[in-house]
Structure 1
Amino acid sequence: MTKHWVKEYLLITFGIILVAIAVEYFFIPNNLAAGGVIGLAIVINSLIPQIAVSTITLVVNLILFVVAFLLIGKQFGGKTLYASVGLSVIMWIIEYFFSPFAITRDLIIATIFGTLIAAFGMAIVFNNNSTTGGTDILAKLLNKFFNINMGKALLIVDIIITLAASVVFGLDIGFYAMLSVIILGITVDRFIDGFNTSKEIMIMSTSVENIGEFILKDLNRGCTYLNGVGAYSGEDIKIIYAILSRGEFIRLKSYIKEIDEKAFISVRESYEVLGEGFMKME
């Protein structure tokens, strides 16, 4: 349990570092208020430059954190507090010790690469049942109570902030900010799907028992025997059904190749598996 807890928080830390890098080196220098509390903070900072973006982000996040803690639960609230405060602290460190600059002034490059880096970081955080704070909390509420996936929920919430950016920075910057929001909404879900993808397999072989034993003992996974009848031969057959990670499937395929090269294997991608040995039902 402790190892799992440490792993989750290390992943969350890595995720918010990526988000902070995207914000400080791609978004803020180019006035790309791409949604979220950070986008709102960029707009406010342009009007009141004496207040740092990291400070504005922290204050608003703390307010929204109370909402998450009350409506979503203590575990989510604790992780979100860590992620939101941690993100503000990392941004503050970058702002005051590393003098952030625009890696590129090309708005297209800044929009695309900044958004991809931020989306990857957010996906890591979301996948560990947390958020980077801000409007991500509102998106998580939509996800929890209305079953709207995280990417679309973010899109709905962030459009309003990009409209504010259009008013403050002009339509051109506003359109780039909107493009960033759209890319973010699409790619966050794709990244999360990629993290959780498993292989759903069915195997027909003359060495069913050996393969089943390999899955149980060597891979430490469960499997199920299904009874079937060959349409051509009319013979009774056993079919193995199992769900494995990518690495486990590669090991299984190598093993099957050694003992039965004529085995028939059907493989499908499974983007979400809940239960023992996989993700917990939150």
Structure 2
Amino acid sequence: MSTTHRWLSIFEGCLLVALGVHLLNASGLLISGTAGMGMILTRLTDLSFGQLFFLLNLPFYVLAARTLGLAFTLRTFCSISLLSVMSELMHRFIHIEIDPLMAAILGGMLVGFGLIILFRHNASLGGLNILAVYLERRFSIHAGKTTLVGDCCVLICALVFFELSQVAYSLVAFLLLSSVVGRYHRPPVWAIVKPVS
């Protein structure tokens, strides 16, 4: 695989995720992982989603570098930075109104397919995704299962700050994301990664 092909694919994956997140944000819905936490925190701070998403992922680079390698960490850092910038641009220049159910369906599926592209090119969007890739490599736990657990945690937090209907629609997005990742993501046969002592 050429370097150009890899980075173009990472760009495309980030674009799909950014569009999915934008659709969900437009309807006041959530998605999983650090992105979901970023959406929740936009209600508690003056920072934008893109800014929060970038900041929330900073601690996870240490785990990525120690367990998944510097190349993976670099691609992940670039992916997170790309998504943060794309989210800022879409928030500023693309204004849409969309039915919450349609936003949940399209948003969940777009984020899911975007993540698959990133996983297949040995990158992630940090946070829970770093943990998901690490657990898949180290213990053969499918990434979809890890993201599902993360979804549940975000939903519990969302119950405090969002209306029940928003949480219900967000659950649709979560389930579709996990379904897409679970059905289409085919983890390669990696050698077990030994923790760095």
Q: Tell me whether the two structures share a fold, i.e. TM-score over 0.5.
A: yes
Q: How does 1:1-282 map to 2 (within 5 A)?
A: 4-24=2-22, 26-48=23-45, 50-96=46-92, 98=93, 100-104=94-98, 106-193=99-186
| C-alpha deviation, 1:145, in angstroms | 2.2
| C-alpha deviation, 1:80, in angstroms | 0.7
Amino acid corresponding to residue 62 of structure 2 in structure 1: V
Amino acid corresponding to residue 125 of structure 2 in structure 1: T
- Percent sequence identity is 27
When residues 38 and 187 of structure 1 are mapped into structure 2, their CA distance, relative to the original with a 3 A threshold, is same
- Take 1:95 and 1:273, find their aligned partners in 2: how far apart are those partners? 35
- Take 2:108 and 2:115, find their aligned partners in 1: how far apart are those partners? 10
3-state DSSP of counterpart to 2:71 = helix
- Take 1:163 and 1:30, find their aligned partners in 2: how far apart are those partners? 19
3-state DSSP of counterpart to 2:57 = helix
Q: Deviations over 1:76-120 (max 9, x none)?
A: 111111111111111122223x1x33341x221111111111111
| C-alpha deviation, 1:165, in angstroms | 1.2
User: Larger Cα Rg: Structure 1 or Structure 2?
Assistant: 1
- Take 1:67 and 1:23, find their aligned partners in 2: how far apart are those partners? 25
Amino acid corresponding to residue 64 of structure 2 in structure 1: A
3-state DSSP of counterpart to 1:102 = coil
Give the alignment's Cα RMSD to 1 decimal: 1.9
- Take 1:174 and 1:64, find their aligned partners in 2: how far apart are those partners? 27
| C-alpha deviation, 1:141, in angstroms | 2.1
The 4+ residue runs of structure 1 with deviation greater than 3 A are: none
Where relative contact order (Cα < 8 A, 6+ residues apart) is larger, the structure is 2
| C-alpha deviation, 1:21, in angstroms | 0.9
Cα pair 1:15 1:125 within 8 Å, conserved? yes
| C-alpha deviation, 1:281, in angstroms | 6.1
Q: Which runs of 5+ in 1 are unaligned?
A: 194-271, 275-279
Amino acid corresponding to residue 20 of structure 1 in structure 2: A
- Take 1:103 and 1:31, find their aligned partners in 2: how far apart are those partners? 11
- Greater helix content: 2
Cα pair 1:131 1:137 within 8 Å, conserved? yes
TM-score, structure 1 as length reference: 0.63
Cα pair 1:123 1:189 within 8 Å, conserved? no
3-state DSSP of counterpart to 2:59 = helix
Q: Who is 2:195 aligned against?
A: none
| C-alpha deviation, 1:16, in angstroms | 0.2
Q: Who is 1:234 aligned against?
A: none
- Take 2:74 and 2:191, find their aligned partners in 1: how far apart are those partners? 18
Cα pair 2:21 2:31 within 8 Å, conserved? no
- Take 1:119 and 1:9, find their aligned partners in 2: how far apart are those partners? 19
| C-alpha deviation, 1:273, in angstroms | 7.2
Cα pair 2:32 2:151 within 8 Å, conserved? yes
